[in-house]
Structure 1
Amino acid sequence: MAMKKKSHIAIFPSPGFSHLIPFVEFAKRLVLQHNNFHVTCIIPTDGPPSKATKAIVESLPTSIDSIFLPPVNFDGIAPGLQVFLTATRSLPSLRHVLESLVSKTHLSAFLTDMFGTDTLDVAKEFNIPPFIFFPSPATALSLLMITPKLDETVCCEFRDLPEPVEIPGSIPIHGKDLPQPYQDRKSEMYKRLINLAKQLNQVEGIGVNTFTDMEYGAIKALQAQQGEPNSVISPPVYPIGPIIQTGSSGTEANGSECLTWLDNQPRGSVLYVSFGSRGTLSAEQLKVLALGLEMSGQKFLWVVRGPNELPSAAYLNGQGDFDPSEVLPNGFLERTKGQGLVVASWAPQIEILRHGSTGGFLTHCGWSSTLEGVLFGKPLITWPLFAEQHMNAIMLVEVLKVALRPKANENGLVEREEIAKVVRDLIEGEEGKRLGQRMNDLKDAANRALSKDGSSTRALSELASKWQNVEAPK
């Protein structure tokens, strides 16, 4: 029997570690499931790649290679816009790389994410079919698809709307809970989102990092509109998740310290607290959170990052050497020595969530962290900060019922008594047990989706066969 010819695709993630990981994991899943694929990962940069980025790239299988583009300059650019502008400013170097690739091989697809849509025209110049990999939830994609229409029909700021916004396949969401760019319709970010939503109809398919049982309504709504003459979206949508980081997330010293500490705690007794790689709280909220964790009497493992008033807390920036005792209440570390473990800036999240002693996860509801919580069956406390995290929190609490959400006071601060109550409810209360049971059901559904004949495995196979059937240009 003749060997199947290898298919070659190129992927282009947005800048930043949290964008690179889902793309790399998607590529790994593709080549594992379909061994006749080769992937080139083209990585835009705004400076030298971080140690973590290099480690990820160096550990890739041989069927995935990577190319770092020359860094782009961001002098005088607002941090929020950098993620949009990196793709735009990398177009000349991307064109050069694609030209070199197509001179040697036939590329059957080019994938980027929602911040890289300016690159789609370059792919088309070389007759490479363009696709989107959407590493966020289907609900966010559903909102994005109706944004141009919303923009025409709504005349005030979304947060001032008396009625919630109807998102196809989702529960209605109040305007104040829509992602950040929607909170200021005059902003450059919002204008770019509208433009981006219009560009999505140029692609030949959208792979979404979700699975049917988690977002049944949104996925069905997106698929139902496909190809309809008046539809907002015409490309087919493929739910191919949950895609999370696989393998060890590092061997740093505080990694082994966390796991050794967890080994000595009772099963299901520890609340893991982390706001992701970019999430930061105000100095005041950070202190109140500490006092609430202490007051709960429950065990906790907390990854502390500097408060967001510090310059080092800026978007896309890592935090270098940082001492948590500088930002925590006086005496907190001494008083909670037997109760909790505090680590600075980074911890091996996958290994912590996998651990039997971890009984719950207080999270900012970033989509990667949310999916990790689901795959390891840990009930959640939601503490959304930015992007689509408020929408994710609403889905987790009100639709899926696998999470609790602490209430803030009229000044937006979550007080220590509220934190202590919610933590106790999750770790030792009856409600926590009910959430844990539902989260276990969702975990089983996620594993079914990824099984040999599961819905996500089938969706990825559909995409792969589409790419395998792309004819090389004559």
Structure 2
Amino acid sequence: MAMEAAAQSTLHIAIIPTPGLGHLIPLTELIKQLSRRHNFSFTFLVPTDGSSTESQTSLLQSLPASIAHAFLPPVDLSDIPAGSHLLIRVILTLTRSIPALRDSLTTLTGSTRLVALIFDVLGSPALDLAGEFRVPAYIFYTCSAMNLCSAFCLPKLDLMYSCEYRDLPEPVHFFPGCVPVQGVDMVDPVQDKKNEAYKRILDVAKQYHKAAGILVNSFLNLEPAPFEALMQNGDGIPPIYPVGPLVRTGLEHGLAGLGCCLRWLDKQPSGSVLFVSFGSGGTLSSDQLTELAFGLEISGQRFLWVVRNPNDMSLSAAYFDPQLCSDPLQFLPNGFLDRTGELGLVVPSWAPQVQILSHSSTGGFLTHCGWNSILESIVHGVPLIAWPLYAEQRMNSVEVTEDWKVALRVKPNEKGIVEREQIAGYVSRLIEGWEGKAMRERMKVLQGAAEAALGNDGSSSKSRNEIAHILMTEGKSHESLNKI
């Protein structure tokens, strides 16, 4: 396995993500910042199940020379039953990669001054590796502080309630001050206690206390109550470091689609375009895709829509392979592209999201409420239509709609379909209604708070510098222990 070794004089940190581009992107942003501002070198050790790694490879190859990467040997997941929850596949990819991780870390200790391991949100099953190599382990939490609150509360909730969370008559209060969450809006893997995914996520949560600290991709002024609850709660919660918002600052992976999107946006009035995208992993059913198309058409509003192949079996069918597509435009209603040609631009599979959200013509974002997309919206001041699909996205939608009040949340019918007339209404209300104007103003306030948090004296910059100082001082201490 080829690995670019850092100089022996440089403190080295190994980064262990779990599969999924949405997890890898914020991790790379964090490591780029640490690399620019502090004297560390890094190696990403990436577990894989053998599915396409094209997007991940492109992202990792774009990093500075001080940040190396290696893909671990693919693990065999052929024994996982068809239809198993996405989380099982993600966690098993990590846990079955532990022997290869151990070998890679052994190699690193022979060629670098390894002083710490950083795992992502689902990496806690491998935390014991840090003990083996006598270095501290940190969790980089790629979700919200509210989501982290729910993770620390989950073991207690498991003992408190025997019924399914979705059947609870009252909302769940994770910690005082946090916005209450209906059981049905808790993270997707906990919605069936008999499912293996529930046992896996419960085990992940129970191991968080082993971390030397948790770095959260959020900022104090965005989630003051959740952060206060986490930082002041001594019940086994490690030190918490808000370091966000960590969002993409450049192109996602390649130049495809950049020019046509920006040229089209340049011709549109300011704040007039709704950007429609369900992230790198989200998919809609065939019926829902049709309803969305007609809803956009009926609204009469300008839109830029990233269309992916529909999937009637899974809302996260593209999670492991964001490139998965044939010709998604063939699934649109007959004549749709001709009828909407004056108002809309439809692009297949991928578009430069950061550049679109930062464009002056973009006035709203219909999103699956992935945490990365929410943070990117905040950084660029764009209000939302919240359309959660899987994972923690329903909980995220509670924050953006009920806490921050910067989004409209869609309401599916009894068959789980958001109908075209409703979609048209949401779009019109956001782009040209008084609600959209009010949400836009509130989002601008959050945008300013995000900018302040990342400033030289901002709360997130201070947290990042603090953790870097700890890694340098404690890392050297752990290195000395290794020599005893």
Residue in 2 aligned with 1:183? Answer: 191
Once the two structures are superposed, the pairs formed by residues 147-166 of structure 1 within 5 Å of their partners are 147-166=154-173
8 A Cα contact 2:230 2:237, kept in partner = no
1:97 and 2:104 are equivalent in the alignment: yes
Distance (whole Å) between structure 2 residues aligned to residue 415 and residue 79 of structure 1: 27
Deviation at 1:170, TM superposition (A): 1.8
8 A Cα contact 1:79 1:315, kept in partner = no
The structure 1 segments of at least 4 consecutive aligned residues displaced by more than 4 Å after TM superposition are none
Distance (whole Å) between structure 2 residues aligned to residue 357 and residue 438 of structure 1: 18
8 A Cα contact 2:430 2:436, kept in partner = yes
Residue in 1 aligned with 2:402? Answer: 398
Residue in 2 aligned with 1:37? Answer: 40
Paired amino acid for 1:440: K
Residue in 2 aligned with 1:145? Answer: 152
Give the 3-state SS of the residue equivalent to 1:101 in structure 2: helix
Distance (whole Å) between structure 2 residues aligned to residue 293 and residue 444 of structure 1: 31
1:335 and 2:342 are equivalent in the alignment: no
8 A Cα contact 1:305 1:319, kept in partner = no
Residue in 1 aligned with 2:327? Answer: 323
Give the 3-state SS of the residue equivalent to 1:469 in structure 2: helix
Deviation at 1:164, TM superposition (A): 0.9
Deviation at 1:31, TM superposition (A): 1.4
- 2:464 aligned residue (457, 460, 464): 460
Paired amino acid for 1:269: S
8 A Cα contact 1:308 1:314, kept in partner = no
| Deviation digits for residues 391-414 of structure 1 (CA, Å, limit 9, x no counterpart) | 111110111011112333333322
Deviation at 1:419, TM superposition (A): 1.1
Q: Which runs of 5+ in 1 are unaligned?
A: none
Q: Structure 1 residues 118, 250: closer, same or farther in 2, change over 3 A?
A: closer
Distance (whole Å) between structure 2 residues aligned to residue 105 and residue 316 of structure 1: 31
| Deviation digits for residues 346-392 of structure 1 (CA, Å, limit 9, x no counterpart) | 11111111111111100000000110011011011100011111111
Deviation at 1:79, TM superposition (A): 5.4
Distance (whole Å) between structure 2 residues aligned to residue 310 and residue 105 of structure 1: 46
Deviation at 1:321, TM superposition (A): 4.2
The RMSD of aligned alpha carbons is 1.6
Q: Structure 1 residues 23, 353: closer, same or farther in 2, change over 3 A?
A: same
Give the 3-state SS of the residue equivalent to 1:301 in structure 2: strand
8 A Cα contact 2:276 2:303, kept in partner = yes
8 A Cα contact 2:12 2:115, kept in partner = yes
Deviation at 1:38, TM superposition (A): 1.2
Normalised TM-score (structure 1): 0.95
Give the 3-state SS of the residue equivalent to 1:146 in structure 2: helix
1:167 and 2:174 are equivalent in the alignment: yes
Deviates more, 1:6-15 or 1:319-328: 319-328
Once the two structures are superposed, the pairs formed by residues 127-138 of structure 1 within 5 Å of their partners are 127-138=134-145
1:71 and 2:78 are equivalent in the alignment: no
| Deviation digits for residues 75-96 of structure 1 (CA, Å, limit 9, x no counterpart) | 1313521100011111111111
- 2:349 aligned residue (323, 345, 363): 345
Deviates more, 1:347-356 or 1:54-63: 54-63
Q: Which runs of 5+ in 2 are unaligned?
A: 1-8
| Deviation digits for residues 44-79 of structure 1 (CA, Å, limit 9, x no counterpart) | 112265332222111111221112111111113135
8 A Cα contact 1:324 1:343, kept in partner = no
| Deviation digits for residues 281-335 of structure 1 (CA, Å, limit 9, x no counterpart) | 1111111111111111100000011112278935423344432332111111110
| Deviation digits for residues 17-46 of structure 1 (CA, Å, limit 9, x no counterpart) | 222111111100111232x11111111112
Residue in 2 aligned with 1:308? Answer: 311
Distance (whole Å) between structure 1 residues aligned to residue 369 and residue 50 of structure 2: 28
8 A Cα contact 2:380 2:447, kept in partner = yes
Count of aligned pairs:
464
Identity of paired residues, percent? 50
Residue in 2 aligned with 1:82? Answer: 89
Give the 3-state SS of the residue equivalent to 1:313 in structure 2: coil
Residue in 1 aligned with 2:286? Answer: 283
Residue in 1 aligned with 2:116? Answer: 109
Distance (whole Å) between structure 1 residues aligned to residue 419 and residue 239 of structure 2: 45
Normalised TM-score (structure 2): 0.93
Distance (whole Å) between structure 1 residues aligned to residue 307 and residue 269 of structure 2: 23
Residue in 2 aligned with 1:19? Answer: 23
Once the two structures are superposed, the pairs formed by residues 108-257 of structure 1 within 5 Å of their partners are 108-168=115-175, 169-225=177-233, 228=234, 231=235, 233-257=236-260
8 A Cα contact 2:85 2:189, kept in partner = no
Q: Structure 1 residues 31, 274: closer, same or farther in 2, change over 3 A?
A: same
- 1:419 aligned residue (416, 423, 435): 423
8 A Cα contact 1:365 1:389, kept in partner = yes
Give the 3-state SS of the residue equivalent to 2:123 in structure 1: helix
8 A Cα contact 2:14 2:118, kept in partner = yes
Give the 3-state SS of the residue equivalent to 2:303 in structure 1: strand
Deviates more, 1:443-452 or 1:95-104: 95-104
